[in-house]
Amino acid sequence: MESFLVHDDRFKAILGPNPTLELLLENKEYAFAHEAGVYIPPDNTLFITSNHIHTTGLILTQWSQTNITLSSKVIAITGANRGIGLGIVESCLVNDAARVYSLDIGDTADEFHGLSQRFPGKLFAIHTDVTQESSIATAVDKIIDEADVLHGMVVNAGRTKHKPGLEFTDEEIEALFSVNVARTAARAFIRLGIKGSIVFTASIASYPPNKRVPSAPYGASKAGIRNMTHTLAMEWAPHNIRVNSVSPGLVNTAMTYWVPQQEGWKQQLKYYGGFPRLADVQELGGAYVYLLSDAASYTTSIDIPVNGVIGIC
Q: Active-site residues: which are they?
A: 218
The three-class DSSP label of residue 4 is: strand
Give the integer Cα–Cα distance in Å for 202 and 179: 12
Half-sphere exposure of residue 264, counting CA atoms within 13 Å on the CB side?
Answer: 4
The three-class DSSP label of residue 68 is: coil
Contact 225, 279 (CB under 8 A): no
Count CB-CB contacts under 10 A for residue 26. Answer: 11
State phi, psi for 43 to the nearest 5 degrees: -85, 5
State phi, psi for 205 to the nearest 5 degrees: -70, -10
In this structure, which amino acid lies at residue 106? G
Give the integer Cα–Cα distance in Å for 192 and 151: 10
| Partners of 123 in the β-ladder | 100
The three-class DSSP label of residue 209 is: coil
Can you give the C-alpha Rg of the chain in angstroms?
24
The three-class DSSP label of residue 242 is: strand
Contacts of residue 36, defined as CB under 8 A and 6 or more positions apart, other chains included, come to 18, 20, 21, 24
The three-class DSSP label of residue 197 is: strand
Contact 82, 109 (CB under 8 A): yes
